[in-house]
Amino acid sequence: MPTSTTSTLNPIFSLADLIGPELIEQYLGDGMDGVLQRIVIQNIKEGAPGTYSAYVAVLTSDLSPIPLIGDSISLDLNKDPQDGSRPTPPPSSDSTNGLLSIGTITVTMSPSFSMSITMGIGLMFSEDLLEPQDGSDAVSIAVGLTMSIDSKGVHLSAPSLTLPVCGIGSTGVTINGGTVTLALWGSDGNPGLTTLGVDSKFRGVVIQNLSLTLPSDLQDSSGQLSSKLVFSSATIGNTGFSGKMNATFAAGLDVSFLGADLTLTSVALNIEHNAFAGGAIAGTLTLPFFEQPVSVTIAPAEDGWGLSLTGGLVDLTVEDVLELELTSLGVQQTDGDVWFKISGTVTPQLTVGSIITPSDWPSLTLKDVLIDKSGHIKASGGKLALSSQQTLSQSFLIEE
């Protein structure tokens, strides 16, 4: 514990000097010294014996963000919550030129050391972590917070906070709302945070009941989907955003996937450290051209979507035209064009006068043949091959 006396409290000095290196390392962590050097004390007044109050401020010549948790979360000095947590110091003998007041501090030196700081600042998240959607340079939440330090550790309190609409890195997922709880120095003995998996080593924020919107490739014209997709709990720290969610739709929910009709049955999503780490979207896709439902599983990925059949082979029929035994299904996105990629065995069912009947046609093996959302077929890049030795006795021409 510090043994400072009145004579050591200079009119203007840094918060790091006041707390001292031992307490900084013990309670705040080694990297906090640089943060506290940027914050200074001014207008010091003595109240009861051993108790002092003052204003905390920063130099107006340097209002750049102060890194708080690595490069992920910083203190935004330009953000004033307008809640009274940023009072203006009264005129005094202390010089206030070149200083911006951001809060107040109370220090008790005896019988034991304790300190309470109230500051009006912003919590700013790096653009790699959260991507602003309003044209601003970074996502920043104004907050009036109180930080207390005593023999039991660091304690934080703040009013209820919510996130503005923002994107999670490059995932295409947007989030907003929720209840933000500060855990800048771990769980602080809070059983609620401990239940959510926050331990003493965690540094960041915890968000509960956080709404999310999937990438724009999934269109929900009814607006029902977004209201049903929620991270019950998520964290944002120096390793990025992490959260899991799961939703089921017993009656199905009609949306559009890459321009094709999709009836959702479930959505599961796992994001760890700002990247997709698992999850699947299950439903029934109406495959263009065939216009028949196919049970599919869609897997989100950083570079697009994985698409596969659910439950094995699928038989599709275009009456009097063809029968298809579909063995695999995928998706390909090239230069803004979207194609569904199919493989399987197709058997024509055309009747040509009295010359050719459906039973006369050989089966063909399809490999990665492309169909767009309008049902147009593109053989380029795919393969077509006879799957049997059956041949037609009549010659005919296929035009490419």
CB atoms within 10 A of CB 289: 17
- Whether 34 maps to a domain, the answer reads yes
pLDDT at res. 378: 79
The helix/strand/coil state of 374 is: coil
Residue 94 has pLDDT above 60, yes or no: no
pLDDT at res. 159: 87
Per the prediction, the chain carries an average pLDDT of: 84
For the chain, report the end-to-end CA distance as a whole number of angstroms.
84
- Whether 150 maps to a domain, the answer reads yes
**pLDDT band (50, 70, 90) for residue 385:** low
pLDDT at res. 92: 52
**pLDDT band (50, 70, 90) for residue 399:** very low
**pLDDT band (50, 70, 90) for residue 111:** confident
Report whether 105 contacts 55 (CB < 8 A).
Answer: yes
For the entire predicted model, the pTM comes to 0.80
Residue 386 has pLDDT above 50, yes or no: no
Listing DSSP states for 292-337 in one string gives EEEEEEEEEETTEEEEEESSS-EEEEETTTEEEEEEEEEEEEETTE
- Whether 315 maps to a domain, the answer reads no
CA distance linking residue 60 with residue 166, whole number of Å: 29
Interacting residues of 262 by C-beta distance below 8 A, sequence separation 6+? 218, 254, 255, 256, 283, 284, 285, 286, 296
- pLDDT, one tens digit per residue, over 243-292 is 999 999 998 999 999 989 999 999 999 999 999 999 999 999 998 888 89
Exposure string for 107-121, b = 16+ CB within 10 A, e = fewer: bbbeeebebbbbbbb
Report whether 260 contacts 288 (CB < 8 A).
Answer: yes
Provide long-range contacts, Cβ within 8 A and 24+ apart, for 62-69.
62/38, 63/100, 65/124, 66/35, 66/38, 66/39, 67/34, 67/35, 68/35, 68/123, 68/184, 69/184, 69/203, 69/204, 69/237, 69/238
pLDDT at res. 381: 55
CA distance linking residue 375 with residue 339, whole number of Å: 9
Rg of the chain over all Cα atoms, to the nearest angstrom? 31
In which domain, by residue range, is 122 found?
1-159
Interacting residues of 172 by C-beta distance below 8 A, sequence separation 6+? 214, 215, 216, 217, 300
Look at the chain and count its residues.
Answer: 400
Averaging pLDDT over each range in 129-143, 322-336, 340-354, 364-378, which range is the top one?
129-143
pLDDT at res. 380: 56
Structural domain tally of the chain? 1
- pLDDT, one tens digit per residue, over 301-318 is 877 889 999 987 889 888
Residue 397 has pLDDT above 90, yes or no: no
- Whether 19 maps to a domain, the answer reads yes
- Whether 133 maps to a domain, the answer reads yes
CA distance linking residue 110 with residue 130, whole number of Å: 43
